[in-house]
Amino acid sequence: MPPNPIEKSALPTDRVAELTEAVESVLQCLTPFLRASEDDYSSLTTERHLSSGCYSTGDVLESYLSHPDQLREHLSLNLPSNGRGLEDIASSTSTLLQHSVNTSSPGFMDKLWASPSIPGIAADLVLSALNGNDHVFRVSPALTLIEKHVGEELAHLFGLSDLNSGGVNVPGGAAANSTALLIARNVRFPDLKEVGLRGISSPRLVIFASEAAHFSVFNAAQVLGLGSHSVKKISTTTDGSMDPRALKQALDATIAAGEVPLFICGTAGTTVRGAYDPLRSIGQLAHQYNAWFHVDACWGGAAAFSRKLKYKLDGCEYADSIAYNPHKLLGVPQICSFLLGKDLRAFWYANTLTAGYLFHQDSRIPPSGLSFSHTTAVPEGKLVNTPAGKLSSFGVHYDWRTSKAIQNAADPRAVYDLASFTPQCGRRPDAVKLYFHWRCYGREGIAKQVEGAYDGAQYLARLIEKEPTLHLVGDVNVPCTQVCFYYVGASLKLTSSIQDIAAQNTHFTRLISAGLLKRGWMVDYAPGSGRQEELGDFLRIVCNRMTTPCVAEGLVQAISEVIKSDIETTPPEIEG
Amino acid sequence: MPPNPIEKSALPTDRVAELTEAVESVLQCLTPFLRASEDDYSSLTTERHLSSGCYSTGDVLESYLSHPDQLREHLSLNLPSNGRGLEDIASSTSTLLQHSVNTSSPGFMDKLWASPSIPGIAADLVLSALNGNDHVFRVSPALTLIEKHVGEELAHLFGLSDLNSGGVNVPGGAAANSTALLIARNVRFPDLKEVGLRGISSPRLVIFASEAAHFSVFNAAQVLGLGSHSVKKISTTTDGSMDPRALKQALDATIAAGEVPLFICGTAGTTVRGAYDPLRSIGQLAHQYNAWFHVDACWGGAAAFSRKLKYKLDGCEYADSIAYNPHKLLGVPQICSFLLGKDLRAFWYANTLTAGYLFHQDSRIPPSGLSFSHTTAVPEGKLVNTPAGKLSSFGVHYDWRTSKAIQNAADPRAVYDLASFTPQCGRRPDAVKLYFHWRCYGREGIAKQVEGAYDGAQYLARLIEKEPTLHLVGDVNVPCTQVCFYYVGASLKLTSSIQDIAAQNTHFTRLISAGLLKRGWMVDYAPGSGRQEELGDFLRIVCNRMTTPCVAEGLVQAISEVIKSDIETTPPEIEG
């Protein structure tokens, strides 16, 4: 009777046995991989160098980076017609690990994340085996409640403690920043959801962020149709944080030009130098100029867990939204990213829409919420054909935070279909990873790990300051866990141009980074701001919760060795 | 010397032992959870009912869905100050599983995904423990090559076989659809990246998708600033697929109005009924009218693996981009989602930008590619102040596919920093999950599983057709793995209005869904189109690769039981 009789063999196999076998295969491969990074700690303690380092095949990595085809030959990329069975898991895992960067090595100081947390890995395994998706409550009751609870607790930790404060998972920091801008745009100008930005003769909507802000903030403006020209980059002071006086000037210029300050992004922990913008001043300006105040705390937000470090986030309670990534300093495995909000009604209002097959009408939610468009009178008014002379409705004095749009939105505490809060549909409940992590270590334990990373950076900065041929970028009291420096051991002619100095700095920086790579350390570099003290690329070391004094000492010794063997034995190629 | 002496206790613990302990805790909890779903198969075979079903505490789920606070009390949501150590993992996992939907149960037929694949779970564990991020090649050499390779192979499987064809991971189907629209917008009108859409007097950019397309396509238009009004919903024929004649009419009307057909989305496997749009006709129209052709094959794209079913995707080789989610029918654990492209130069051109601290200048990439803005002459010309009378540069006859923008873009085969291809920054290399899955089962094995799901749906549709009180929506030869039906056992007055019929259908549909839930089955429902044969909500069963004939038979028996006990013993509440 079935058109194609289904064979008996299609019946499910013993999945428990299969899962156990598969997981054991993976664990067997992971054991030597993780053991290697533990051995690194031992050899750093006893001999001040890494025994294995970031890459199992040592200095081959640099060659692979330049010639990916060489690496490709070593991988088993073939996707076969006939399956190789579960036995393949061991060999695929082994090959993959052999040619992967070991982020658990103490030598991995290249990016804003490092070794993954054990409870986080356990939670990831649970999530995979559950295969849950908390876009609607119906299919993920416990997962949804965990995400809502963790989001709320995180929001409170950052000082967002209103009745409707909370947070939701997003697929990364870039998504957090762009979703925040989307919410700001749609709440302020709801008609845009329907009519779009084309042909609208409204004043320009302006976005403010420091020149050191993450590129995703600038990119969000182009993605959302506002255009990158609508972003005003605010200059930073020498410590790399936003200059609030420059922001004030830019805001005044915006108003004077008849434009609308839509969105101000403060950064708590910039990507390169870890600078904390003065959030209190910026937040007060945002409220004064009626702009949405977003804080990109993806990196530096970890300070929220520590009573000792929390002062760095002073003023973040002014924020309308905060991006925070537990997958960075905390070590929760990627991806674990949150967008927190002071008033989740705005999130809901900006993102909710009708999809009868997914979101079933729910007596807990006011029915008005089920319409895609919001044509109910919104005080901000229509944007189309607004005469240039009648811009009062766009004026800075109208408080959108108390607008009817938000007042009439659903009670976010009663919204359990979390896909209503962001543009995503399917969502992996990544909050569960932070939930496991937090329960295992507690806030105090997390604080201790975070403080360890900050202390490690302070210690490393002092070690580098003592080296005569190294020059720190910025103060020795580094604001976060990055330590940035130049090699300054080579002399330059007095007549050297700024370009020559920058070229030489960049040259040495890259030599040191490459030399460290050969010795198992990964340390990235970044372009200087172009100011007098920041010409050309400098090295950027990122300390993490595993950066003990031994690690710092071993790294400084490795830098010295690189300088001796790769720089001071050969004359610099580029001279002034 | 360090400002805050770092304690010895901050030294890393034995992570291998910790990981082993944590994973074993999780496995111990998972064993009874997965065993329960295996017992379900046995009891279906012998007694035609589920022994455990989708929810361990049985009919409590319905109550929790209406009263989440009741469930909250049973969870251990507390996030403590002092950590509970790794011992917490067992209890947290156990509580979570107890109150979670068991997607491995054969009774889970509610959504477009079900039980996760074992090699996929293993890969997820590897990804967590590696904590890799393939935004830049430097820190994820093997992961990057796997993602590039899997993306290429997938693209080829869908018939995208040009020199520059390939694919990249995105964080879900909604992101795939919105990224495709973003690329289409930015490639066609590069100036929009800088100047945005505001104040531009260009003709309207129009998006076409069937009325049965996923809501994320419509939402993408509002997110990207084009506005939901810029979407033309094309009517479907009775089988739920796009009517290409209606599309042609809409395209002609668009041209007649001086507007630009920007983006046509065909759907391969709609969310509710699984309909396949006629991709060949749509693709030909897209090329004829010079619009970007996107195929949302997130769900129905699984047919690409099967020689027997591939005909359903006929014409997808016309696509400029294809969204495909292995985390749906294939069972790769969430999230595993791809955006495939015929020419990845377009992806790169639309998304690349400068971030010196992340993307280092790379000799393999032409330097022109490192600029955020693309002010080089692009034939489409500037949009600002284009007089209404001089719209020829927006005309349908200019072939953007051969534009200089694309011709001058980087060779995507030589781009290894994958964050250049989408708006994301950090990216979990989810392709590895499909890689493990594919190597384990092979294309043939995957094809067999996919065909099993389609066969299961055919079988189930025939069983339902035989039931006198059930009425299938659409033909018994269902196009994909969904089976949709109404209960039609109750009589209506001859004078019943359409509203009365719809209300009664919806009432019975929800009764049956709730009755099934009590018996361990999860089957969702969706609103009818409003056509004569689709009034009110109908039930939508989603078959998956574990849907054997026994499952189909057990479900039909459960439906009969629900009708007998919940409907036919009590008079309908709503009458005509």
| Rounded-to-integer distance, Cα A51 and Cα A72, Å | 26
pLDDT score recorded for residue B371: 31
Q: Give the predicted TM-score (pTM) of the model.
A: 0.93
pLDDT digits (tens, 9 = 90+) for A88-127: 999 999 999 999 999 999 999 999 999 999 999 999 999 9
Range of the domain at B254: 136-353+406-428
Residues of B in contact with A193 (CB under 8 A): 222, 227-228
Residue B378 confidence (pLDDT) above 50: no
Contacts of A461 (CB under 8 A, 6+ apart): A472, A476, A477, A478, A483
Q: Is residue A340 part of a domain?
A: yes
Choose between B576 and B315: higher pLDDT: B315
Angstroms from A397 CA to nearest CA on chain B: 23
pLDDT digits (tens, 9 = 90+) for B470-529: 999 999 999 999 999 999 998 777 778 999 999 999 999 999 999 999 999 999 999 999
- Same-domain pairing of B52 and B196: no
| Rounded-to-integer distance, Cα B412 and Cα B246, Å | 36
CATH number, domain of B190, equals 3.40.640.10
Choose between B4 and B476: higher pLDDT: B476
Residues of B in contact with A200 (CB under 8 A): 198-199
Angstroms from A271 CA to nearest CA on chain B: 8
Residue B376 confidence (pLDDT) above 70: no
Structure tokens at B515: 């009755």
Q: What is the ipTM of this complex?
A: 0.93
**Residue ranges of A 87-106 with Cβ closer than 8 A to chain B:** 88-89, 92-93, 95-97, 99-101, 103-104
Whether residue A514 contacts residue A481, with contact meaning beta carbons closer than 8 Å, is answered with no
- The CA–CA distances, whole Å, from A55 to A88, A201, A534, B45, B262 equal 23, 56, 31, 51, 46
Answer whether A47 touches B (CB < 8 Å): no
**Maximum Cα–Cα distance across chain A:** 92
- Same-domain pairing of A552 and A526: yes
- The rounded percent of chain A whose pLDDT value lies above 90 is 79
pLDDT-derived band at A21 (thresholds 50, 70, 90) equals very high
- The rounded percent of chain B whose pLDDT value lies above 70 is 89
Least confident of A22-31, B117-126, B138-147, B490-499: B490-499
Q: What is the mean pLDDT of chain B?
A: 89
Best of B74, B112, B121 to disrupt the A interface (most A CBs within 10 Å) is: B121
Would residue B484 be called left, alpha or beta, if left means φ above 0 and alpha means ψ between -120 and 50 degrees? beta
Contact A146 B427 (CB under 8 A): no
Residue A575 confidence (pLDDT) above 70: no
- Same-domain pairing of A469 and A332: no
- The CA–CA distances, whole Å, from B402 to B155, B191, B420 equal 20, 17, 21
Q: Is B558 exposed, middle or buried (0-12, 13-18, 19+ CB in 10 A)?
A: buried
Residues of A in contact with B240 (CB under 8 A): none
Q: Is residue B383 part of a domain?
A: no
Our measurement of the distance from residue B498's CA atom to the centroid of its chain's CA atoms, rounded to an integer in Å, reads 33
**Backbone torsions φ then ψ of A474, nearest 5 degrees:** 85, -170
Answer whether A437 touches B (CB < 8 Å): no
Q: Is A212 exposed, middle or buried (0-12, 13-18, 19+ CB in 10 A)?
A: buried
pLDDT-derived band at A365 (thresholds 50, 70, 90) equals very low
Contact A6 B548 (CB under 8 A): yes
- The CA–CA distances, whole Å, from A212 to B124, B135, B277, B410 equal 34, 20, 47, 27
Choose between B82 and A58: higher pLDDT: B82
pLDDT-derived band at B571 (thresholds 50, 70, 90) equals low
- Same-domain pairing of B424 and B450: no
- Same-domain pairing of B217 and B109: no
Question: Which of B224, B228, B428 comes nearest A334 by C-beta?
Answer: B428
- Same-domain pairing of B228 and B339: yes
Of B382, B397, B428, the one marking the end of a domain is B428
Residue B162 confidence (pLDDT) above 70: yes
pLDDT score recorded for residue B370: 27
CATH number, domain of A470, equals 3.90.1150.170
pLDDT score recorded for residue B572: 53
- Same-domain pairing of A187 and A55: no
- Same-domain pairing of A448 and A417: no
- Same-domain pairing of A63 and A154: no
Q: Is residue A512 part of a domain?
A: yes
What is the SS3 assignment for A223?
A: helix
Structure tokens at A493: 């002619």
pLDDT digits (tens, 9 = 90+) for A233-283: 999 999 999 999 999 999 999 999 999 999 999 999 999 999 999 999 999
pLDDT score recorded for residue A361: 56
Contact A77 B146 (CB under 8 A): yes
Angstroms from A557 CA to nearest CA on chain B: 17
Q: Is residue B542 part of a domain?
A: yes
- Same-domain pairing of B421 and B448: no
Q: Is residue A126 part of a domain?
A: no
Q: What is the mean pLDDT of chain A?
A: 89
How many domains does chain B divide into?
Answer: 2
- The rounded percent of chain B whose pLDDT value lies above 90 is 79
Angstroms from B5 CA to nearest CA on chain A: 8
Residues of A in contact with B527 (CB under 8 A): 356-357
**Residue ranges of B 23-42 with Cβ closer than 8 A to chain A:** 23, 25-27, 29-31, 33-35, 37-38, 41
Answer whether A361 touches B (CB < 8 Å): no
Whether residue B331 contacts residue B115, with contact meaning beta carbons closer than 8 Å, is answered with yes
pLDDT score recorded for residue A366: 38
Give the residue among B451, B481, B484, B485 at the shortest CA–CA distance from B468. Answer: B485
Q: Is residue B219 part of a domain?
A: yes
Structure tokens at B22: 């944590």
Residues of A in contact with B23 (CB under 8 A): 23, 27, 121-122, 125
Least confident of A5-14, A20-29, A250-259, A553-562: A5-14
pLDDT-derived band at B201 (thresholds 50, 70, 90) equals low
Whether residue A443 contacts residue A305, with contact meaning beta carbons closer than 8 Å, is answered with yes
Of B381, B398, B428, the one marking the end of a domain is B428
Amino acid identity of residue B60, one-letter, is V
Residues of B in contact with A226 (CB under 8 A): 196-198, 225
Nearest CA in chain A to B359: A526
pLDDT digits (tens, 9 = 90+) for A186-206: 999 888 899 999 866 678 999
Question: Which of A31, A103, A219 comes nearest B423 by C-beta?
Answer: A219
Structure tokens at B457: 């749906």
Choose between B84 and B496: higher pLDDT: B84
Q: Is residue A434 part of a domain?
A: no
Contact A354 B215 (CB under 8 A): yes
Would residue B498 be called left, alpha or beta, if left means φ above 0 and alpha means ψ between -120 and 50 degrees? alpha
pLDDT-derived band at A58 (thresholds 50, 70, 90) equals low
Residue B384 confidence (pLDDT) above 90: no
**Residue ranges of A 283-322 with Cβ closer than 8 A to chain B:** none
Question: Which of A31, A125, A172 comes nearest B426 by C-beta?
Answer: A172
* First CA to last CA distance, chain B: 85
Answer whether A349 touches B (CB < 8 Å): no
Answer whether A556 touches B (CB < 8 Å): no
Answer whether B125 touches A (CB < 8 Å): yes
- Same-domain pairing of A451 and A317: no
Give the residue among A286, A263, A284, A267 at the shortest CA–CA distance from A276. Answer: A267
Choose between A362 and B444: higher pLDDT: B444
Residue B355 confidence (pLDDT) above 80: no
- Same-domain pairing of B311 and B162: yes
| Rounded-to-integer distance, Cα B363 and Cα A13, Å | 51
| Rounded-to-integer distance, Cα A545 and Cα A447, Å | 10
Angstroms from B349 CA to nearest CA on chain A: 13
Which whole number is the average pLDDT over B15-32?
96
pLDDT digits (tens, 9 = 90+) for B27-53: 999 999 999 999 999 999 999 999 999
**Residue ranges of A 218-237 with Cβ closer than 8 A to chain B:** 218-230
pLDDT-derived band at B368 (thresholds 50, 70, 90) equals very low
Q: Is residue A81 part of a domain?
A: no
Angstroms from B308 CA to nearest CA on chain A: 12
Angstroms from A68 CA to nearest CA on chain B: 8
Nearest CA in chain B to A62: B138
pLDDT digits (tens, 9 = 90+) for A503-532: 999 999 999 999 999 999 999 999 999 888
